[in-house]
């Protein structure tokens, strides 16, 4: 959903600015666009860390095939922590950027652009904090939003594979359960690879600009910033598609929802058959995400699937 917000709001603003050399929404876009982009990196970073912890718990659980189903309230609470934490860490971006104007010496046209310069109207304590953030932004960006998710995911995957290899030697686990765990691990690894590939150019550019910015022209800096933004847009476009392709139950559920929307005007008989088939597929696919017991008492089957 956050990737969709980036593509829906930030992409048109950036394209409009490159075509017209005018800032859409003025100074507001100069502050909101960086805030949303950095928040997107935080959401992805902490989501990958949370998924890594979940896979580690699944591998180290004493009875992995009979783990209790996690309640929706718990999942929503984790998502809220990830979103609120990401947006809180991105608040300095709102105070760091502001809009500036420049006159082209060739055409004489006034162009608007965003510059990383705290406003002098801020309180002294806030102004000093924003300056400190600006000076440490490159290494904070590199450490928190690049190294943390990659190292965390790699460490969790190595520990999980080591534990899984040990368990395979001691006990024979179900083939279906092992395939589910393998699919989920491949999904997390794929998301991490895409994230790493799309954020590497931006971190390299940030380090190069930090040490070579006096020798680089404004046009070069603007071009590097534009390339970094489009790498972020590419990541936001590819991540949902990759998730639907690698995670087969989620992709199947998405296709079922699309088919249900397309067949909304069909007769009642066909809709009832489609709903029954969709319910059966949902019950089968839910076992991929939750480690449900293999054998449940008959009364529990009538309760249906969890949300």
Structure tokens given for 19 = 């075509």
Which residues lie closer than 8 Å to 178 by C-beta, 6 or more apart? Answer: none
Cα four-point dihedral sign 283, 289, 295, 299: negative
pLDDT tens digits, 32-91 = 988 999 999 999 999 988 888 887 777 776 655 556 677 888 888 989 999 999 999 999
If one looks up domain 1-60+72-167 in CATH, what number appears? Answer: 1.20.1070.10
Which residues lie closer than 8 Å to 228 by C-beta, 6 or more apart? Answer: 201, 202, 205
Give CA–CA dist 92/237, Å, rounded: 26
Which DSSP string do the residues of 13-69 spell out, in sequence order?
HHHHHHHHSS-TTTHHHHHHHHHHHHHHHHHHHHHHHHHHHHHHHHHH-TTGGGPPP
- Which among 88, 41, 83 is positioned nearest to 239, based on CA atoms? 41
pLDDT score, position 263: 63
Structure tokens given for 254 = 């998405």
Q: Per-residue b/e over 130-157, b at no fewer than 16 CB within 10 Å? A: beebeeebeeebbebbbeebbebbeebb
Phi, psi of 290 (to 5 degrees): -120, 135
pLDDT score, position 46: 92
Q: Per-residue b/e over 182-197, b at no fewer than 16 CB within 10 Å? A: eebbebbebbbebbee
pLDDT score, position 291: 45
Q: What is the pTM of this model?
A: 0.73
Q: Which residue positions in the chain have pLDDT lower than 50?
A: 172-173, 265-274, 276, 279-305, 307
pLDDT score, position 278: 52
Domains of the chain by residue range = 1-60+72-167
């Amino acid at each position: 959903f956050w990737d969709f917000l980036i593509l829906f709001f930030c992409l048109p603003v950036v394209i409009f600015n490159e075509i017209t050399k005018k800032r859409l929404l003025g100074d507001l876009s100069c502050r909101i666009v960086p805030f949303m982009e950095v928040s997107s990196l935080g959401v992805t970073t902490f989501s990958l860390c949370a998924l890594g912890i979940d896979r580690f718990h699944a591998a180290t659980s004493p009875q992995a095939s009979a783990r209790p189903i996690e309640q929706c309230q718990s999942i929503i609470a984790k998502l809220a922590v990830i979103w609120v934490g990401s947006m809180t860490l991105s608040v300095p971006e709102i105070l760091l950027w502001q809009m500036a104007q420049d006159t082209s010496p060739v055409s004489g046209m006034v162009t608007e652009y965003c510059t990383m310069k705290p406003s002098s109207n801020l309180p002294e304590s806030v102004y000093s904090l924003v300056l400190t953030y600006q000076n440490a932004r490159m290494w904070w960006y590199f450490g928190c939003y690049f190294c943390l998710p990659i190292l965390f995911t790699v460490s969790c995957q190595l520990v999980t594979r080591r534990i899984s290899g040990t368990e395979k030697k001691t006990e024979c686990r179900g083939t279906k359960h092992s395939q589910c765990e393998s699919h989920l691990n491949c999904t997390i690894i794929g998301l991490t690879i895409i994230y790493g590939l799309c954020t590497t150019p931006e971190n390299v550019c940030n380090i190069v600009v930090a040490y070579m910015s006096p020798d680089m022209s404004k046009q070069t800096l603007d071009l590097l910033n534009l390339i970094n933004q489009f790498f972020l847009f590419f990541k936001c476009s590819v991540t949902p598609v990759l998730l639907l392709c690698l995670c087969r139950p989620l992709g199947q559920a998405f296709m079922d929802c699309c088919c249900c929307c397309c067949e909304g005007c069909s007769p009642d008989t066909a809709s009832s058959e489609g709903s029954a088939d969709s319910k059966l597929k949902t019950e089968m696919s839910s076992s991929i995400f939750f480690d449900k017991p293999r054998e449940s008492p008959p009364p529990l089957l009538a309760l249906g699937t969890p949300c």
